[in-house]
Structure 1
């Protein structure tokens, strides 16, 4: 296949406006399997394709980008840096965003390779251009630049190059472009700081992280909201959480939650504060977080009863997150009537209102009542059963009614609740005692989307995998469920096929 490509390259180099020839080359390249493409293009020069990027003709530029994208991805990072470094650097200065993204993508591959990265570490000009791409107007260009710089920072040599050279000044200069770009740099710093305690140390010593923390209590409400999101990302790592605790950030955010009632603009940043502690509780300890920062737990309950759908939605997500762990379930149970009131609100929200809110409510309920087999102690089974039965006098019928409504996302969310109930003995008792429920499970005609079929299959699997299902449901139902599982989620009976063909 190398000969036709070489021939096409000669044709392209001989024509001033080779749109058709470029299209032919693109087609030829797409016809070669990726596994074989490297052998077909290695050793050939593609200077003519790079040279054709110097035009105002958008179609020509697009074809060249498509061609180069396929060729360069087939080549090793080491080969790229040895043969195309100047061309890639030129791409960073190209007026087309697509060309910049192409160049940044390949540079990202190079800096992630331990053998290919060295020439780039010694080339501050190319790294300077990558840094300035973070300040480009097009978000796609900035994202690729952030990705490349993050990969570069995976090594000590990369960290030293970015933070202990004149490139540090370039990063600080880029921050001054505008608020949007400043937060892109913060995003980069959080990416780097999250890699290890050592990389966090580089970001702290360069003052980027301390500047981010100052934004938490700044006067600009929207900037404050963005800063909270960034700090939450940093808290996803243990060394990040330890650093934030040392800096008193948890106490600061708790105080911001307390002061939210007297701030008329708190609705802009309060959801972020709650998400911060919700994530913190799951990563550390729900009990410890709720006991140490009671303002968080109180605010979640308050927001769950709030008429504002934004506040309610965040509270539901947070409660689902907390209730997904045994410790979180126990913390919520200890609040007594407070949580009972929230469950009653969730029952109402699941039955009526906007579809998105209903789905979020159902997802939260499924997390709250889920128990893994090893978690099924007598106390915890009694807890999940009591919560489920609080939703309605006939909760199985209530959820089944939701599942029959003509909204696929509601259907799947309702099935996930049944999948949460299914492995628990009390849930199986409800299933067998609810008229028509076993027939509902076995009915393959309900829910025709792939997602619905997958959700039903997951429900059947969760029943069959339970050690108590055969005894509680009876051997006849259990064998039918095992047959359903063996046939798979997309099984269609021969009778159904013949019947359908006849109707046509």
Structure 2
């Protein structure tokens, strides 16, 4: 096969318009498995394909990219570093985004190889070109450049090169291009800082992190909103959270939430502030976060009652996140009437809000009501039961009526709530005592989408997971549910066909 590829390359170099020959080569390469391809091309030079990238003929360039993508992925990063470094560097400055992305992806592979990365680190021009790609007009190019450069953070030599050399000035120059590009560089810095405490130390010493943090309180509210997103990403790692606490950022964001009441533009950045603390509560401790920063919890409740759909949506998602944990449930329960008011609002939204808010309400209620088997203490079961009955005078009927509406996402959201209470004894008792409910569950004619069938199957599985299910549900229902589970989610019962030949 190697001879065939070599002969095809010779044919390509011999013709003026090589489209047909390039198509033939691409077909030949795609027909080979990667293992065979590696042996077939390891001794082959691809100079002719790289040279054909220098063309205004779009189809020719795209064929060359397809060919190179296939071949280069079969070659080791070390082989690429030894044989195609110059060509890939040229690709970083190519006008076509597909060529740039190809070059960036292959250089990224070299970054992960201990021997190949040395050749990249010793090539200042490649690293400079990589950083310049972050300011490319095409976001896909910038994202690939960020991804490739992030890999430098996995070694001390890579971090030294990026932050203790002239490349730091290159990054700062690129940052000055525009607000959009500046935030792309911040994205790179946050990605690197999140890898380890050591990489965060490099980023902090470069002053780029403190520059990002100062943007939190800038005059431009849109820039402030973007800065909050970046800082939230940094808070995903434990060492990132520790650093932000040391810098007083948690208190600063809490004060920003308080000050938002008097800012007419706060709706642009307030959701980001709330998401920040919501993520913090999940990674650390809901109780600690809510007690230390009460402005956060109060604002979530306010937003849930707000008429602005953007505010309501973020509040619903945050309440779902908090209520997904036992500690979060207990924190919400402690607020008493405040939370009961919010829960009633969630129920109203689930029944009659805009479709997107209905789905988010159903998902949040499902998370609030979910208890894992090991969490089912007497107190917590009493808590989830009381919350369920706060939703409506007839909560089972309310949720069931939502599930029968002709919107798959609402159908699945409603079944999600039933699945949440199906593993709890009070939930099963309520279901079995509701006339027609078990027939509703066992009816395969409702919800014909794959998602709906999967959701119903999960509900049946949850009902059967309780050790006392047979006792609570009764043997007849228990056997029918077992049959449903055995038949699988997509079972269709055979119906005898009746001949109507000759009928009018």
* CA-CA distance at 1:44 after TM superposition: 1.2
**Alignment partner, residue 257 of structure 2:** 257
Change (3 A) 1:50 1:346: same
Establish whether residue 70 from structure 1 lines up as the match of residue 70 from structure 2. Answer: yes
Name the CA distance, whole Å, in 1 between partners of 2:201 and 2:25.
49
Which ranges of structure 1 fall in alignment gaps of 5 or more residues? none
Change (3 A) 1:499 1:322: farther
Post-superposition CA distance 1:35-59 (Å, at most 9, x none): 4322222211111111100100011
Establish whether residue 330 from structure 1 lines up as the match of residue 330 from structure 2. Answer: yes
**Alignment partner, residue 39 of structure 1:** 39
**TM-score where L is the length of structure 1:** 0.97
Name the CA distance, whole Å, in 2 between partners of 1:207 and 1:327.
37
Number of aligned positions between the proteins: 501
Change (3 A) 1:370 1:125: same
**TM-score where L is the length of structure 2:** 0.97
**Alignment partner, residue 460 of structure 2:** 460
**Alignment partner, residue 228 of structure 2:** 228
Runs of 4+ in 1 over 4 A off after TM superposition: 498-503
**Alignment partner, residue 486 of structure 1:** 486
**Alignment partner, residue 242 of structure 2:** 242
**Alignment partner, residue 102 of structure 1:** 102
* CA-CA distance at 1:459 after TM superposition: 1.3
Name the CA distance, whole Å, in 2 between partners of 1:412 and 1:209.
43
**Alignment partner, residue 161 of structure 1:** 161
Change (3 A) 1:13 1:30: same
Establish whether residue 293 from structure 1 lines up as the match of residue 297 from structure 2. Answer: no
Name the CA distance, whole Å, in 1 between partners of 2:457 and 2:100.
45
**Alignment partner, residue 417 of structure 1:** 417
Name the CA distance, whole Å, in 2 between partners of 1:34 and 1:358.
48
Post-superposition CA distance 1:341-397 (Å, at most 9, x none): 001111110011221110000010011000000000000001001111111111111
* CA-CA distance at 1:468 after TM superposition: 2.0
Name the CA distance, whole Å, in 2 between partners of 1:5 and 1:502.
62
Change (3 A) 1:489 1:207: same
Change (3 A) 1:85 1:216: same
Post-superposition CA distance 1:6-59 (Å, at most 9, x none): 222121111111111111111222222234322222211111111100100011
Which ranges of structure 2 fall in alignment gaps of 5 or more residues? none
SS at match of 2:135: coil
**Alignment partner, residue 10 of structure 1:** 10
**Alignment partner, residue 214 of structure 2:** 214
**Alignment partner, residue 171 of structure 1:** 171
Report the more deviating stretch, 9-18 or 441-450: 441-450
SS at match of 1:134: helix
Report the more deviating stretch, 425-434 or 474-483: 474-483
* CA-CA distance at 1:155 after TM superposition: 1.1
* Equivalence map 1:339-354=2 (5 Å): 339-354=339-354
Name the CA distance, whole Å, in 2 between partners of 1:487 and 1:150.
48
Establish whether residue 378 from structure 1 lines up as the match of residue 372 from structure 2. Answer: no
Name the CA distance, whole Å, in 1 between partners of 2:50 and 2:500.
60
SS at match of 1:216: helix
Establish whether residue 125 from structure 1 lines up as the match of residue 110 from structure 2. Answer: no
